[in-house]
Amino acid sequence: MISIDSTLLIQIVNFLIILFIGKKMIINPVLDTVEERDDKIESLNSEAAKLRSEVEKYKTEYEEKFEHVKQEAADYHKQVKDEAIQEAEKMYAKVKTEMDEKLENARNDLEKQKDEAKAKLKSDAENMADEIVDKIIGKVA
């Protein structure tokens, strides 16, 4: 059986002292460390969430700027291409005009040469005809 005497009281007091000292030296520091760790984890999680949202914001800005720059490059490319086409068309029109003028001048020159050749042939034909007539008349006379 259990006997209740003065040692029981000493053991209860001893247990309470050990409990008090254990709480102060072991339990409270462990709980404080766990609480600090939880606070630090929560702080890091909130900072990570903040950084994630910031990264998303920057990513969105980057994508918008990239699309804008891409569109500007496409517009510039189209503008340069259009300008090159217009310049080529102008050069083609200029060369065509020059070639048409040269062709017309060549035709006019050929026409003049043809007329001159006809006139010369006509003149030569008339001279020959006159000579033939003179020779025929000269033999007859």
Torsion of CA 43, 44, 47, 52, to 10 degrees: -140
Question: What is the model's pTM?
Answer: 0.47
Phi then psi for residue 117, to 5 deg, are: -65, -40
As separate numbers, helices (DSSP H) first and strands (DSSP E) second, the chain gives 2, 0
Query: Reduced to 3 states, what is the DSSP secondary structure of residue 51?
Result: helix
The three-state DSSP-derived secondary structure of 12-36 is HHHHHHHHHHHHHHHHHHHHHHHHH
**% of the chain residues with pLDDT over 90:** 68
Output the pLDDT for position 53. 96
Neighbours of 141 (CB within 10 A): 5
Interval 47-100: pLDDT, tens: 999 999 999 999 999 999 999 999 999 999 999 999 999 999 999 999 999 999
Output the pLDDT for position 133. 83
- In one-letter notation, the amino acid at residue 53 is S
